[in-house]
Structure 1
Amino acid sequence: MTQADPQAIPSSAAPRDKQRHARRAAVNEAKRTHILAAARAVFQERGLEGANLREIARRAGYVAGSIYSYFDSKEAIYGALLAESLERLNAAVAAGAPESRSARERARGAARAFYDFYATNPRDLDLGFYLFGGMKPQGLTPDLNAALNARLRDALARFGGALRELGMPEPAARSEEAAFFAHCVGLLLLENTRRIRMFQEDPGKLCDAYIERAVERAEAGAA
């Protein structure tokens, strides 16, 4: 009787291994997402200094030691939350300024999408400005802080890029990005603290007026 060549026999082991790996990855991602959701609630209530891994694990329904498989510190969790927030911000800004639109429309759309993201997600504003941790990037490594800042600049760059297309010189466009950011944050803080009521103004309309003036400055520079 001739012995069969093992290499000639088809095997289903590889597909099964891939399926197992895919299921394991999906489970790990679900657990990670669950931990981040629990951590967000703890940070909101206690701040970064008052939060601890034990409480985050309890909220997530895990023992404290199991979290270390996903995050080695509460600061790492905080960084992951902020990174996820900035990715959603960039997606919102991209959706508000599709490439098919004119530069004027993209400038308006990108800037307003930036404002709307934080206006409708005030906890992301707290997270983005480290308000859970005392107005400073506490516990974040310089490399991580630089990477997160770069993603924030990416969101603002769509506005600045459209202004450049309209004719605004490079230095002026960079300054305009910074000025819009400062204006936007000021309006958001006034809105979230309800201080805007003392002026009897609509913060969204004030934002639109500022954006329109920026577009006009860009077009005037081109002329």
Structure 2
Amino acid sequence: MRQQETEYDFVTLWHVVRLLAGRNLEMRYRPSQTPGQLPWEKDWGRHWKAVDMCCSYLSSWPESQLKHWRRLVDSYLIDTALPPLSLTPTELLDIVCKEETNTFALYPKLTGPLYMIDQPVPRGDSYGLGLYPRAARFNHSCLPNVSHKPDEHGRMVYTAAREISAGEEALISYFDLTKFTTLEERQEHVQVHFRFTCDCARCTEESAEQNLLNIESLPFGNF
């Protein structure tokens, strides 16, 4: 596959196959006794149920991208050599979309606010991937109040980056803010990779400032 597809496509399908392998094991080797349900499981779920609860935003992806993923599904996931998945091509496409939308790349340093504006510290190079269904419930902000970083066991740890008031939403950044610094760069990155338009406090303020500058630069002439 690596000789025919891009490295990105290879990594994406590698991650999807690992998710499906976990699903297959879970279906084949169900425990004889169901453990007591924890309070959070009703809303969050665990194991494959938690993955299945993730949003795919299928209708938000460009048709060209969906067509590309359908081809990958047909070429590499619909295979008689693979364990029976009992999933249709449409369901497999939905899983690919969930993987793309909810996966976290793992980095050696924090992803979060820019503590030092003059000397921002990049989070480093990605060394792995993980799908964290409960963590995927966080909304994004370009001015986050929560930072995140995987620990030595691959668990994603979230830490308040500042004091958070009661009732205030906890927000993370979906990407490295040191690499996408301007409003235009951040908006484009969020739209292309996460399929929404960011209207966080930072983007709203910078957009208003930019609009004001644009108005002031117009040649109104003398009245």
TM-score normalised to structure 2 length = 0.24
Higher strand share: 2
Q: Over alpha carbons, which structure has the higher Rg? A: 1
